[in-house]
Amino acid sequence: MPSTFNYDFSGHGWEGKTSFNTGLFIGGKFVDGVEGKTIDVFNPTTGQEICKVSEGGAKDIDLAVQAAHKAYNESWGMKVPPTQRAKLLLNLADLIDKHSDELAALESLDNGKAFAIAKKVDVCGAASVFRYYAGWCDKNGGKVIEVDEIWMLSWKLGPALATGNVVVLKPSEFTPLTALRTAQLIQEAGFPPGVVNIVTGYGNTAGAAISSHMEIEKVAFTGSTVVGRYIMKAAAESNLKSKYADPHLFFLQLIGMVVTDVTLELGGKSPNIICDDADLDQAVKWSAFGIFFNHGQCCCAGSRVYVQEDIYDKFMQKFTDHIKTLKVGDPFHKETFQGPQVSKIQFDRIMGYIEKGKQEGATVLMGGEQHGTEGYFIQPTVFTDVKPNMTIVKDEIFGPVVVVSKFKNDEEIIATSNDSMYGLAAAIFSQNISRAIKLANALHAGTVWVNQYNTLHESVPFGGFKQSGIGRELGEYALANYTNVKSIHVNLTKEL
């Protein structure tokens, strides 16, 4: 039998307890993996093991696929009216709100995100996404045409369930706890067994099995561009999973390793442009939020900051002064803004990029070292004197590291900003709205913010250009990822 995770958060900022099963969630039940293996889950704040969760592999994915097909054919899909799907999604949203402190605490425990931010942004945002897609359940039924002759887990689950799909979900092996607790809430909300299946496992086993599975017709993935390429390749070599595949079986992998229908929300190296007519105080605060939110582990992080040369010195003074006020530490402390990186692997990867930046001649204006001696904390790091061909300017670092450069005019900054294989997001700070809109239209990015950063809404689509992904999350656009267009011609009057 799978183990039960029990944890007392007393003294951590939330005085509560949690208890839930750590098995694979298949067919409405928690079960051990076929091979009986487990995954160690660590607290990035201390580097110590929290618990073990069941490890799923290819055989477990097969069982989850079978359970999903059974649910679709017997108790979901066309068997459940849209109004009932809406009711269940609203039930789930209410339960997420009810347990918001517990879910935020779990996010902080295995992810390292500041508790206050996890609750306000991630948990409350997830509830809002489920409510939003509940409203779409009975409004996405296609059209009758008279002629002569349909904040990460909720982004995928919301539209997929609203459109009547069944789901096999693989969360990141680094941060599985919230997904497993949500499985219990899905049960409590009243979803039929097998509609949502959650298989914890590694990308090169469970993830690979999903991306090449012959009976999975659609996959959505959030993660790196490198892994996205592997998923596209595996999809093409299996059953040609495509955006308009036929069945309703859907797989989701949240940030970690692998994906397949192929909707991909991938990496970014997003430019943040500070014009000479910007409100500097606001630009400073939003720019810091844009890069150091979630410890820089944000696909749309504003990791390339470009400042118009006339205001560069003034901006940099204010920027560094503000960064010094950001509290790095225990995510359960109320004043903490930046917690630890999610894992030792990610910590080492980021520190490697910092060393690479130094070797290539960039200047570390501040930070550049480990913060403290325990856990996976990294000081907020600012590089200057960078050149376009430097690794830290081109690569997605996915950490609290920003490069800052000068620019002369709008024509130059458009070319510089677009000189990237990525195109996920960008931002412009200017009090001249006409100038800002002109720049926004010229940037090759799926999302452009004006005088703000990292603000997302469930009704507004999100996704990238170029190698930052395929398809869109959120909003009405996301529904197209989980539906197919089908034409039925009925002859009522014509005779041969």
Mean pLDDT for 468-480 is 81
Q: What is the pLDDT of residue 26?
A: 96
Mean pLDDT for 346-369 is 96
Q: What is the pLDDT of residue 353?
A: 96
Q: What is the pLDDT of residue 242?
A: 46
CA-based nearest residue to 360, from 395, 390, 397: 390
**Distance of CA 351 to CAs 344, 347, 368, 388, 422, Å?**
10, 6, 8, 20, 22
Q: What is the pLDDT of residue 91?
A: 95
Mean pLDDT for 342-355 is 95
Q: What is the pLDDT of residue 238?
A: 67
Which of 351-365, 457-471, 477-491 has the weakest average pLDDT? 477-491
Mean pLDDT for 154-172 is 86
Q: What is the pLDDT of residue 461?
A: 86
Choosing from 102, 217, 265, 396, which is the catalytic residue? 265
* 8 A C-beta contact, residue 116 and residue 97: no
CA-based nearest residue to 220, from 158, 263, 254, 162: 263
Q: What is the pLDDT of residue 194?
A: 93
Mean pLDDT for 350-374 is 96
Residue of higher predicted confidence among 481 and 248: 481
Q: For residues 307 and 272, what is the distance between their CA atoms, to the nearest angstrom?
A: 8
pLDDT tens digits, one per residue of 169-216 = 888 888 999 999 999 999 999 999 999 999 999 888 888 887 877 777
Going by pLDDT thresholds of 50, 70 and 90, the confidence category of residue 141 is low
| Catalytic residue status for 265 | yes
Q: What is the pLDDT of residue 239?
A: 58
What's the gap between Cα 182 and its chain centre? 16
Choosing from 137, 298, 299, 300, which is the catalytic residue? 299
Q: What is the pLDDT of residue 248?
A: 38
Mean pLDDT for 121-145 is 78
CA-based nearest residue to 410, from 289, 277, 250: 277
Mean pLDDT for 82-100 is 94
| Catalytic residue status for 299 | yes
CA-based nearest residue to 194, from 67, 23, 80, 61: 67
Percentage with pLDDT > 90 across the chain: 64
Q: For residues 409 and 426, what is the distance between their CA atoms, to the nearest angstrom?
A: 17
Mean pLDDT for 421-442 is 96
Q: For residues 327 and 319, what is the distance between their CA atoms, to the nearest angstrom?
A: 15
Confidence check: pLDDT of 252 > 50 = no
pLDDT tens digits, one per residue of 54-73 = 999 999 999 999 999 999 88
Confidence check: pLDDT of 244 > 50 = no
Confidence check: pLDDT of 153 > 90 = no
Q: What is the pLDDT of residue 50?
A: 94
Going by pLDDT thresholds of 50, 70 and 90, the confidence category of residue 149 is very low
Residues 409-436 as b/e (b if ≥16 CB within 10 A, e otherwise) read ebeebbebbbebebbbbbbbbbeeeeeb
Q: What is the pLDDT of residue 236?
A: 67
Residue 449, strand partner residues: 427
Q: What is the pLDDT of residue 151?
A: 55
Residue of higher predicted confidence among 103 and 149: 103
Mean pLDDT for 341-361 is 95
Going by pLDDT thresholds of 50, 70 and 90, the confidence category of residue 380 is very high
Confidence check: pLDDT of 391 > 80 = yes
Q: For residues 78 and 250, what is the distance between their CA atoms, to the nearest angstrom?
A: 16
Dihedral of CA 5/52/197/59: which sign? negative
Burial of 176 (0-12, 13-18, 19+ CB in 10 A): buried
Mean per-residue pLDDT over the chain, rounded:
87
